[in-house]
């Protein structure tokens, strides 16, 4: 599930920093939110673990490629931008750290969006929607995932980060 908070600000940032020919990987694409918000980016691929969502995404034909895969183990060479939209909280700290560290040298920038202190169980018959890191706070995010700067914090309980200059 994805939240609307701050998405327009993040889209403006993407448009300012990446031209329309940039390659983008939408990790955990679910319902295609990022492609729908950034339709001019035709070189956008999607990774989704929940097969019913993959079937829909492929039928809608909105992404260049749609991969039925686990973001924690998906391998790729290079994308200009990798978006981890509301997926870090769905895995263990160690799994998320490994996934983000894998991405850092394989892209120009990363966007990570996370809710803070937000428990969630199965949603829409999707067992992957469970929040394993429902304890996340800004302080814990900084501690667990160093090297990210705040891109946009539209509410106290939600934040977008990007690969920082640190």
- In whole angstroms, give the CA distance from residue 104 to residue 97: 11
- Pick from 106, 99, 103, 100: nearest CA to 77: 106
- Percent of the chain exceeding pLDDT 90 equals 61
Q: What does the pLDDT look like over 83-141, one tens digit per residue?
A: 998 889 879 999 999 999 999 999 999 999 998 866 565 667 766 566 667 888 999 99
What residues contact 6, with CB distance under 8 A and at least 6 apart?
113, 152, 153, 154, 155, 158, 160
What 3-state DSSP class applies to 159?
A: strand
Q: Are 110 and 163 in contact (CB under 8 A)?
A: yes
Per-residue pLDDT at 1: 45
The DSSP string of 48-105 is ES-HHHHHHHHHHT-SSEEEE--TTT---S-EEEEEEES-GGGS-HHHHHHHHHHHGG
Q: Are 130 and 120 in contact (CB under 8 A)?
A: yes
pTM: 0.90
Q: What does the pLDDT look like over 7-36, one tens digit per residue?
A: 899 999 999 999 999 999 999 887 888 999
Say if residue 164's pLDDT is above 80.
no
**Structural domains present in the chain:** 7-163 (3.40.50.150)
Q: What does the pLDDT look like over 57-71, one tens digit per residue?
A: 788 889 999 999 999
Q: Are 33 and 62 in contact (CB under 8 A)?
A: no
């Amino acid at each position: 599930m994805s939240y609307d908070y701050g998405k327009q600000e993040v889209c403006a940032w993407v448009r300012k920093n990446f031209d329309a020919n940039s390659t983008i990987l939408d990790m955990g694409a679910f319902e295609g939110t990022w492609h729908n918000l950034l339709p001019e980016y035709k070189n956008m691929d999607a990774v989704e673990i929940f097969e019913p969502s993959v079937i829909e995404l492929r039928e809608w034909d909105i992404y260049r490629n749609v991969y039925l895969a686990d973001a924690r183990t998906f391998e790729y060479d290079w994308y200009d931008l990798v978006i981890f939209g509301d997926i870090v909280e769905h895995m263990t700290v160690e799994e998320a750290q490994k996934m983000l560290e894998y991405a850092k040298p394989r892209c120009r920038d990363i966007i990570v969006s996370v809710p803070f202190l937000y428990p969630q169980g199965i949603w829409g018959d999707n067992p992957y929607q469970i929040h394993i890191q429902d304890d996340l706070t800004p302080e814990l995010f900084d501690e667990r995932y160093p090297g990210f700067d705040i891109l946009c914090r539209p509410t106290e309980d939600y934040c977008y980060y990007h690969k920082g200059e640190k």
